Structure 1
Amino acid sequence: MSNKSLRARIPAYKMAFASGELQRTYKDLVSIVQSLRAEFSKQYKGQFTVANVLHGYIDFTYFYLQNDYLKKHKLKLAVVLNHQEVQFELWLLGQTKDVQIDYWAKLQGVRWVDQDVMPEWSIFEILMLADPDFDNVKALSERIHGVFAELSEEIFTTLKVYQ
């Protein structure tokens, strides 16, 4: 983080917006996440409730998935586009910070859990797709769905062991 005053950072901020590229790129990326959300909603109808697309500040665009098991344990899965890293991630979230802390402690030793530092917004974060090809949305979508199917199954198996 910069120690510069807000006023001193404004010129760089204005420059980033000047060409319109940032806004167009952000809008296109959000649109891809919205399409993924719609596909997940269709594909997992009856299996998961899929929430609307949410936006972090400018850093994350994501949607939650929840089924009866997750709901009962106050957990959610989130498919996340990390804008800073420009990659897709799968996060396990707790409905409250206390739930997240409890599960982070319970799941120590699980390969996705950073034993030293709990993530700020989740229990753990798994890389789903690094360096996505946004120009081939069909292939990107198939890859995300495939990885989600594998990882979610593994996550549920792991959660049941650690209950």
Structure 2
Amino acid sequence: MGSLSDAMSEYRAQMQKGAIQQAYRGLMEYMSALKTQLKAKYPEYQVSGSLYFGYMDMTYFSFTPPALKDKGLKIAIVFVHETFAFEVWLSAANRAVLAQYAQLIEDAGWEKYPRVDAAQNPDAILEHTITADPDFSNLLALSAQIERETLAFCADVETFLSTVRD
């Protein structure tokens, strides 16, 4: 990457075109609507009060079933800006719980979902790519896919954790 000055010149040029603002605003509105939709449909789940907008690195909100919340775990629905992918992550309320469950999953040899290297992503234990090529021309289908795969991920994690001692 070049200097900050070069990067800012490119940023200015791209901002003057207007597409970045439109896309970013649209993405934030979509993520907010998805969060609201899931919160209404699954009132028993713990859903974060606000959307984390990020620094154009990731945008996410938590969507956690009661059984995982009781263990200090969280589920995050994440849009990763660099890869342009939607992912679902198993995370935790704090670093100690994260380390505990990362170790438990590693010791059990559970490999249904990729374990996350803490040096590369200190916020997640497991991650699953929902879609690496989201179709923003069909938001209903995209939302249904995110919902379906997130619920399956939650169920898989809950089932696994019910078979091991924590």
TM-score by length of 1: 0.88
Question: What is the alpha-carbon distance in structure 1 between the residues aligned to residue 161 and residue 14 of structure 2?
Answer: 43
Residue in 2 aligned with 1:114?
115
Superposition pairs of residues 3-152 of structure 1, within 5 angstroms: 4-45=2-43, 47-51=44-48, 52-108=50-106, 109-111=109-111, 112-114=113-115, 117-118=117-118, 119-152=121-154
* Unmatched 5+ stretches in structure 2: none
Question: What is the alpha-carbon distance in structure 1 between the residues aligned to residue 15 and residue 140 of structure 2?
Answer: 29
Question: What is the alpha-carbon distance in structure 2 between the residues aligned to residue 15 and residue 160 of structure 1?
Answer: 53
Question: What is the alpha-carbon distance in structure 2 between the residues aligned to residue 16 and residue 105 of structure 1?
Answer: 44
SS of 1:37 mapped into structure 2: helix
Q: CA-atom RMSD, angstroms?
A: 1.7
The Cα shift of 1:159 comes to 2.1
State the AA in 2 paired with 1:114.
R
The Cα shift of 1:80 comes to 0.8
8 Å CA contact retained: 1:107, 1:113: no
State the AA in 1 paired with 2:110.
V
* Unmatched 5+ stretches in structure 1: none
8 Å CA contact retained: 2:77, 2:89: yes
Question: What is the alpha-carbon distance in structure 2 between the residues aligned to residue 22 and residue 8 of structure 1?
Answer: 18
